[in-house]
Structure 1
Amino acid sequence: MSSILAGVSVAVLGGDDRELILAPHLAQLGANVRVAGITKLIGNNRIQYCESAGEAVNGARFVILPMSGIDEQGYIRARYAQKHLSFTRDVIKFCKDDCTIIVGFARQLLKQLIAERGLGLVEIAGIDEVAIMNSIPSAEGALQMAMEATDITIHGSNTIVFGFGRCGCTLARMLSALGAITSVVARKPADHARITEMGMEPMSYSQLPGYIERADIIFNTVPSLVLDESLLRQTKPAVFICDIASAPGGVDFKAAENLGRNAVLAPGLPGKVAPRTAAMILAKVIPDIIVSELANTSSLFSTKEDRG
């Protein structure tokens, strides 16, 4: 059994089915793992279950939060918690001075709390290895939602994808492979060239008026407002809109509701549709991050000693 994390204290807070796999994996690698808000791991003799987040992070060298981090009130998404779990000033004060927080993406409150304590922060959602691999279950989940929400096949449907980043690219390719008439909205000329090379239709945002009315299904991957009321008014009444961008998404959902459009915000699909696959992505990347952070700390300490 590998012991690359032998003796490293790690706290895992909340999450979903991904953490049910990730936490035991870290323990198998030798880490001293404490969890909070994951009642399904009570009784695992390799893991210490804590009643509170403060107890779990106390003395931890690394704190792992869910991909979604914390919300504006400091609450942590914790599917298997028996009570609200939060990461606030009252909790972060228990972290060691050399603690590093590992999270998918950090909202402003989390960044502020970490900066106040001078702790380390690693956001893994932007790492290509994570983002590209996560785009697969995200795209598959979005397709599943579209199939369940519509009375037509993906094949032959007029479909628009907003954004051509890691997730947008994977989703557009899958749609095209299934026979959808796929248009992709992107800003960069290089993206337009790649979209054309892939056999799809590139579009600029200025081309949407007068075209969006053709769409049977719309997918958004852009985490800023791109589908406003004026565009929503031009869509078919029967259109299905699936927004898989991080909250609050890129759709005016209030306007969509008022107009009677079926628009759904669906972040975090990897953990919902393929938690084992998503967990193994994290289980591969996070130990490497921990080892790298420890090596950097050791190198910095050695440098200071040499100078001293």
Structure 2
Amino acid sequence: MMETVLVIGGDRRLSFLAEELTGYFGKVVLCVETEDRGGRSSVNKHINIEACDADSVAEIMRQADIIVGPVPFSRDGVHIFSQGKEKVRIEEFCKGLREKQILFGGNLPAKVISEAEKKGVFCRDFLRMEEVEQENALTTAEGAVAEAIGLSVNNIHSGKSMVLGYGKCGKAIAGLLKEWGIDTTIAARSETALAQAGEEGYHTVLMKDMSDVISDMLFIFNTVPARVLKEEEISVLKEDAVIIDIASAPGGTDFAACERAGIKAVLSLGIPGRYSPKTSAEILLRAILEEREKMVEL
């Protein structure tokens, strides 16, 4: 395919994705500055990838047939998410869209979708694609558990774990813990979800009752994007317990209460891009190629 692809914003996974895209498209332009986990600037040096900065992105957008944005597309609602220092304003980005382009991104904001559709741009949200959601949940689970191990002073097999929420990411985290033989409890607001979790072999508790059992937990993973870990629950935790909160900002944990109690807790966002950027890029690549093939067939 001879289309021009613009990859904009994001983290290391988009740098890997740009590299992969060169094998399928005529021209790939990368407008992203990323850093590795050591905080060092990661400059893409592949000769098949052109580079542009925030000031020249509008010009490149006019040439692009496909635009690939980050996951999530934005974290502040104003700028396209970028791990680096350069930021592109969503408002300016929308001005550069043109008819018949294809826009990919994760959790595309409503105002971006609205402006894109007005201009005849086809929007494809990665996080609304079943296969991407499933694979993304698995990479998120691996990273969340890795982060918990790094944060704790305990071996993860030495204590009990709790997962709050039983959606895709909650199930993936619980599944990984189960494979490792770790005693795991699922806390959820839905009795239906708890019934399913019980059938899978987990201990279960309604979220409103979790204060009764959370004091036994050393590792707690929250996936619920609402304040569910309040001072009441945090005050009874073991002093060496850790909380990994992967819910959308601001998370579901009272981090101020954790600090007062001396509990280690982190809001861990963008795990796939930080822990497995190459694998995560391959997941997005497959989604792009599949969607592009569908559109060619129409």
| TM-score normalized by the length of structure 2 | 0.87
Runs of 5+ in structure 2 lacking a partner?
Answer: 34-41
Whether 1:17 and 2:12 are equivalent positions in the alignment is yes
How do 1:1-308 residues align onto structure 2 when only pairs under 5 Å count? 6-38=1-33, 40-42=43-45, 44-52=46-54, 53-72=57-76, 74-79=78-83, 81=84, 83-108=85-110, 110-111=112-113, 113-114=115-116, 117=119, 119-295=121-297, 299=298
Aligned 8 A contact 2:98 2:119 in 1? no
Aligned 8 A contact 1:218 1:241 in 2? yes
Deviating 4+ runs (over 4 angstroms): 115-118
Distance 1:183 1:125 in 2: 27
Distance 1:223 1:23 in 2: 31
Aligned 8 A contact 1:14 1:77 in 2? yes
Q: What's the offset of the Cα at 1:266?
A: 0.7
Tell me the amino acid that sits aligned with residue 135 of structure 1: A
Aligned 8 A contact 1:88 1:113 in 2? no
**Any idea what SS the aligned residue of 1:219 has?**
strand
Distance 1:150 1:41 in 2: 34
Distance 2:276 2:257 in 1: 31
Question: Identity, % of aligned pairs?
Answer: 28
Distance 2:2 2:239 in 1: 58
Tell me the amino acid that sits aligned with residue 27 of structure 1: T
Aligned 8 A contact 1:10 1:62 in 2? yes
Aligned 8 A contact 2:17 2:285 in 1? yes
Tell me the amino acid that sits aligned with residue 210 of structure 1: D
**Any idea what SS the aligned residue of 2:128 has?**
coil
Q: Mark the structure with the bigger radius of gyration.
A: 1
Change (3 A) 1:101 1:229: farther
**Any idea what SS the aligned residue of 1:216 has?**
strand
Q: What's the offset of the Cα at 1:240?
A: 0.5
Distance 2:286 2:123 in 1: 18
Change (3 A) 1:120 1:156: same
Distance 2:221 2:242 in 1: 8
Distance 1:173 1:73 in 2: 33
Larger mean Cα displacement after TM superposition, 111-120 or 141-150: 111-120
Aligned length: 288
**Any idea what SS the aligned residue of 1:151 has?**
coil
Aligned 8 A contact 1:35 1:56 in 2? no
Change (3 A) 1:21 1:222: same
Q: What's the offset of the Cα at 1:118?
A: 5.7
Aligned 8 A contact 1:72 1:109 in 2? no
